[in-house]
Structure 1
Amino acid sequence: MKHALFHRAFIAPLVLLLSCRQESSTPSQAAITALSLKRGQIITCGATDRKLGAVEFNTSCGVATQESFNLALQLLHSFEYDEAEKAFATVINKNPACAMAYWGVAMANFHPLWTPPSELELKKGVKAISIAQSIAKKSPREAAYIAAIAAYYHDWERVDHRSRCIAFEKAMELVHSKYPTDSEATIFYALALTAAADPADKQFINQRKAGRLLEALYPNEPNHPGIIHYIIHTYDYPELAVLALPAARRYAAVAPSSAHALHMPSHIFTRLGLWEECINSNLTSVASAQCYAKEAGIKGHWDEELHGMDYLVYAYLQRGQNGLAKQQLDYLKSIKEVSPLNFKVAYAFAAIPARYSLENKRWPEAASFPIDSTVVPWKDFPWQKAIIHFARVLGSVHTGQMAAATAELAQLKGIHSLLVKQKDAYKAKQVEIQLRAAEAWIHLLAGRNIEALALMNQAADLEDQTEKHPVTPSEVIPARELLGDMLLQLNQPKQALAAYSASLRKHPNRFNGLYNAGLAAERAGLPDSAALYYQQLIMVANAANSDRTELKTIRQFLTAHKFNVAVASHEI
């Protein structure tokens, strides 16, 4: 009863808005021009002929628009938002009275699983919805879709992004309930469930529900880009990732003309520690993104290229391929302009060099991490900037520079306060984890071991209670792995082993996780356990011809202990 009342209370303002708005047959050219639609040739890269999967969405807009509308949805489902808007603009050119084309424009400016829309995107979405609502000729089903996306944009100046995502979820639930045989309604409802999921919900209620809906559709529509794409997103968690592995291994073949489709499987490969597949996925994705930048006439680099590079560097480091990781780092330093300049770009510019320094324990380098504003205006990206200060703290502590570490800690505190003030709870919590870890290592440097361990445990527990942001392959350094490093430094190998083992369950096949777990087991007098971890690392890194010195050390250990390689496949 309460649920039904909520739905009636929620949908009533939308119905009222529709009834009060004067409807017409065709919007004015001035209204269409005011949208400032992206237009031009649809650009795709990857496959030689355009392959974006199969989508069929019947509208009341006429046969002449059907092919363009289907193409727009194919692009939308693979998050090719700019190209999707161009395709919806083509529909509008053919039929300015196609209400669903304006729905599509509003959807293309939403990008629910990425960063919230900019003010310009929000204003465009509102204008598009206004036009869609004003058009008289639309079916009840089309009106329901339009009302659902209107729920997201409604009162955007006063209502926060997450609350509006929840409003979209509830509205799409109504569409799904009213049209249960409409697979697109089910697919967009599943997307809405994932977008509205609580990052702190470790039961994954929304995600599991979305997964069930999508998996029920998949056998009948195996080439639908939205179904396969959203399965990957909804299961992009350590506890669920294995459920998405079949989809991850198929998505690139379904939509090879989308750079995002080529990259997206690597989310699952990363979750499962399948580094070779992750590398191959992102090599093709980066190449496709470079092609797109050239074809689109983008000055500099496209943001999707930087996103793929972050995942690529992370995978190279886990395979111990420092040379290839360094090539990507040097290439990053050569980049002077990226478009659009957004959260993904800022994250890559902070995370890639930080990962290279911290994963390889190049502490002097981490301590002097430069803040280069040539490309990224860091004041606009405080969460990403926190990565730089966090790396500097760890570098300063490990090189014995207390004053420098304390100064960087103050910077982290300032960023945390700013994010709290901005009411960005998720990012504030991520910085809080870094803040507690940074304080822990400063206490350790000062000899306050009890305080250090208490704070480091708090940081690890906080990180366990939430999830990484979809933009990144992993936290720069997992907090529980850092806890293991601290325990190992304090000569508590058994406790360190427990911390590393727990971290590896969430971050399988991490190079330092496996190596340090083996080292902790060795120091704890558990040579058989040490050998298992070491052999697992050999399996992860050996094919890569890694030059990491740790591999030479563990091969000597395995030879000395005459470890039976046949047991290497035993689960650790």
Structure 2
Amino acid sequence: MRLIVTAMLLPLLTGLGAQDAPPAPATDMPAAICGGDTVRTATPELLSGFGKGGWAIATRVPAAQAFFDNGMQLGAAFAHDASIAAMKEAVRRDPACAMCVWGEAWAGGPTINYGKSAAEKTALLARAQSARRLAADGSVLERALADALVLRYQPDAKDASANLAYARALDAVVRAHPGSNALDTLAADAWLIASLEGASLKRPEIDRSIALLEGVLARDPDYTPAIHFYIHATEIVRQPGRASRYADRLAALAPAASHLLHMPGHTYYWTGRYQDAARANVAAARLGQAEAARLGQAEAARLAPTTPDAVWDVRYHAHNVHFGIGGAMMAGDAEAALFLAEPLVRRAGTATGDRAFRQMVAGMGYAAHGRYADPAAVLALPSPTLPYLTAYWQYARGEAQARLGNAAAVRAEAAAIATSFAKTSDPAAGVAAQMARIAQLVLTGRAATIEGKPKLALAAFTRAARLQEEATFTNFADPPLWWYPVRRSMAEALLGLRRPEKALVEADRVLAVLPADPMTVAVRARALSALGRRAAAQAEARRAIAAWHGDARSFRRSLS
């Protein structure tokens, strides 16, 4: 889709010949996924359903224009490999096209999720320099874009300085060419990346990113690249609700982009729409599974035969699953939680080399089983071999025993959880050990609750909540690595101690971060009832029930 037509480019567009018409976009789902992150096809083709992107570039080859536009759409949807492939095809169709070469170099660049190694930057710099040479006799806009991209990949610059230089250069471009959705979003993405460099958030950079994105969305509320980055930016500044109306539109605008199906989950989770977060990520995970299955069927002759676990080679699939389980467990949706968790646990049970962070993500699958699967099935799960996964397996067993009311067995599982591990250079190892300790303390609190010892339960839950709320833990992953706010359990223990005022305070502290958490709202309703505030308690009970997607009968009993 062409979004910008400048005066300099109009003559080129009117001169496009019909003899090289662009191919029609693919009408069905893309046929394969290959290793890196998303859909790929055996032969180059335009992929539909990934949203908007692109602008009119200096080429007389319509197919080159079409593949450039598609590459920008795919890149903005974080379909990185497919974006690079589209840009390479654009170059093949028109080797003299400066922006096609530029697009190839841009598509391979860093994102807010991934940096680039020195070797990768060297290769990308070479392509950016080629684009600059080709653009030397082109428009002011294309020369400026080429110059900016060269700054991004300077070999001697640190990532932070290179990303900032690139953002500043793009900002100069958008000020010289105002009103362009594509260019403004390109610059906003650059500012977003620059804002995250270093130990603390850089407010001027992210504020500029947000301002650019809001300008785009005011002009076109359906501009998918801007919606994508606006969801990220508003979450980062802890104002996720600002993106809600755009998040609600995104799935319909980019139905083939698994990452864009997932993205509304960020907004939904942090605004208390946990069931919507679960649904968004179930949809993204289903799309990933379908693409992986199609790879096995359509490409088996060309590639090594795949396995049912091939979907885990898709870069963002584990994130979709992790996020979906997090939303489903907060909403009480056992069906969605177990749908996502079952293959995760199956794979985790045989994993032998995963690093700590991957083990923590996989651990969410065990948490879902512990809370929702048949207790006998949970207790029959084989022990994994990896240390942090083993801790989560034991946690799942403890949760299953808690549902059976067996306090002694819960304590035994808690005691079996290791909380000290062999020293390693893995940067996530400390956080993983901290999570194992949280699991142990939560089970200790569960056992004390079953035994009718709320004081002991409160002590255990308080220690777990403090560990969970340390900045090094809370800032490590999105969604939270631990599946629920343990401070909620503190509030429940305080109710058991007949301290409803304090329980209300703790519940409100949870809801300030995780609004509308139905279980915490239920605790709040019980606290209000104990304080004699019946009308307010009934209103909170109704709010909790409306947000809960689990066993309604047991949940209602907890509110009685």
Q: Match for residue 134 of structure 2?
A: 137
- Structure 2 residue runs of 5 or longer lacking an equivalent are 1-39, 300-305, 449-454
Q: How far apart are residue 202 of structure 1 and its match?
A: 8.0
Q: Which amino acid aligns with 1:495?
A: K
The secondary structure found in structure 1 opposite 2:255 is coil
Q: Match for residue 54 of structure 1?
A: 52
Q: Which amino acid aligns with 1:326?
A: L
- Structure 1 residue runs of 5 or longer lacking an equivalent are 1-37, 558-572
**Does structure 1 conserve the Cα–Cα contact (< 8 Å) formed by 2:101 and 2:130?**
no
Distance 1:113 1:95, change over 3 A: same
**Does structure 2 conserve the Cα–Cα contact (< 8 Å) formed by 1:368 and 1:392?**
no
**Does structure 2 conserve the Cα–Cα contact (< 8 Å) formed by 1:238 and 1:271?**
no
Q: How far apart are residue 95 of structure 1 and its match?
A: 3.0
Encode CA deviations 1:533-569: one digit per residue, 9 max, x unaligned.
322111113xx5x4255324146x2xxxxxxxxxxxx
Q: Match for residue 320 of structure 1?
A: 332
Pair 1:388-2:392 in alignment: yes
Determine which of 447, 454, 467 is the counterpart of 1:459.
467
Distance 1:463 1:518, change over 3 A: farther
Determine which of 168, 171, 186 is the counterpart of 2:166.
171
- Within a 5 Å distance, the mapping from 1:550-561 to structure 2 comes to 550-554=554-558, 557=560
- Within a 5 Å distance, the mapping from 1:85-484 to structure 2 comes to 85-116=84-115, 123-134=119-130, 136-139=133-136, 141-142=141-142, 144-146=144-146, 148-149=148-149, 153-155=153-155, 164-165=159-160, 167-180=162-175, 181=177, 183=180, 184-198=182-196, 206-236=205-235, 239-297=238-296, 299=306, 300=308, 301-302=310-311, 303=314, 304-333=316-345, 348-357=361-370, 372=384, 388=392, 391=395, 399=409, 401=411, 405=415, 408-411=418-421, 418=424, 424=427, 431=432, 434=435, 437=438, 455-456=463-464, 458-459=466-467, 461-463=469-471, 467=475, 469-470=477-478, 472=479, 475-484=482-491
Encode CA deviations 1:429-465: one digit per residue, 9 max, x unaligned.
8558647746866997999899868745643552499
Counterpart Cα distance in 1 of 2:377 and 2:527: 26
Q: Which amino acid aligns with 1:138?
A: A
Counterpart Cα distance in 2 of 1:196 and 1:211: 13
**Does structure 1 conserve the Cα–Cα contact (< 8 Å) formed by 2:55 and 2:69?**
yes
Counterpart Cα distance in 1 of 2:189 and 2:435: 30
Encode CA deviations 1:291-317: one digit per residue, 9 max, x unaligned.
322344472343345443333333333
Q: Match for residue 501 of structure 1?
A: 508
Counterpart Cα distance in 1 of 2:397 and 2:434: 13
Encode CA deviations 1:229-252: one digit per residue, 9 max, x unaligned.
111111125841110011101122
**Does structure 2 conserve the Cα–Cα contact (< 8 Å) formed by 1:436 and 1:455?**
no
Q: Match for residue 519 of structure 2?
A: 512
Q: How far apart are residue 76 of structure 1 and its match?
A: 0.5
Q: Match for residue 13 of structure 2?
A: none
Q: How far apart are residue 253 of structure 1 and its match?
A: 2.4
Pair 1:532-2:539 in alignment: yes
Q: Which amino acid aligns with 1:315?
A: G
Encode CA deviations 1:325-356: one digit per residue, 9 max, x unaligned.
33443344456999xx9999766522132244
Counterpart Cα distance in 1 of 2:284 and 2:475: 24
Distance 1:267 1:493, change over 3 A: same
**Does structure 2 conserve the Cα–Cα contact (< 8 Å) formed by 1:436 and 1:458?**
no
Distance 1:532 1:465, change over 3 A: farther
**Does structure 2 conserve the Cα–Cα contact (< 8 Å) formed by 1:504 and 1:510?**
yes
The secondary structure found in structure 1 opposite 2:235 is coil
Counterpart Cα distance in 1 of 2:92 and 2:230: 33
Q: How far apart are residue 320 of structure 1 and its match?
A: 2.7
Q: How far apart are residue 141 of structure 1 and its match?
A: 4.6
Q: Structure 2 length as normaliser, TM-score?
A: 0.70
The secondary structure found in structure 2 opposite 1:408 is coil
**Higher RCO (CA-CA < 8 Å; seq separation 6+):** 1
Counterpart Cα distance in 1 of 2:375 and 2:162: 46
Q: How far apart are residue 111 of structure 1 and its match?
A: 4.9
Counterpart Cα distance in 1 of 2:246 and 2:473: 27
**Does structure 1 conserve the Cα–Cα contact (< 8 Å) formed by 2:341 and 2:368?**
no
Q: Match for residue 31 of structure 1?
A: none
Distance 1:350 1:438, change over 3 A: closer
The secondary structure found in structure 2 opposite 1:287 is helix
Counterpart Cα distance in 2 of 1:449 and 1:372: 29
Counterpart Cα distance in 2 of 1:169 and 1:343: 31
Encode CA deviations 1:65-90: one digit per residue, 9 max, x unaligned.
21110110011011111211110110
Q: How far apart are residue 124 of structure 1 and its match?
A: 4.1
Q: Which amino acid aligns with 1:211?
A: I
Counterpart Cα distance in 1 of 2:464 and 2:347: 36
Distance 1:474 1:507, change over 3 A: farther
Distance 1:84 1:355, change over 3 A: same
**Does structure 1 conserve the Cα–Cα contact (< 8 Å) formed by 2:195 and 2:202?**
no
**Does structure 2 conserve the Cα–Cα contact (< 8 Å) formed by 1:468 and 1:475?**
no
**Does structure 1 conserve the Cα–Cα contact (< 8 Å) formed by 2:384 and 2:390?**
no
Bigger Cα displacement from structure 2, 477-486 vs 233-242 = 477-486
Q: How far apart are residue 216 of structure 1 and its match?
A: 0.8
Counterpart Cα distance in 2 of 1:465 and 1:294: 36
Q: Match for residue 24 of structure 2?
A: none
The percent of aligned pairs where both chains have the same amino acid is 18
Q: Which amino acid aligns with 1:175?
A: L
Counterpart Cα distance in 2 of 1:438 and 1:333: 17
Q: Match for residue 9 of structure 1?
A: none
Counterpart Cα distance in 2 of 1:236 and 1:142: 33
Distance 1:464 1:388, change over 3 A: same
**How many equivalent residue pairs?**
483
Encode CA deviations 1:492-532: one digit per residue, 9 max, x unaligned.
44323322222122212323322333344445665555433
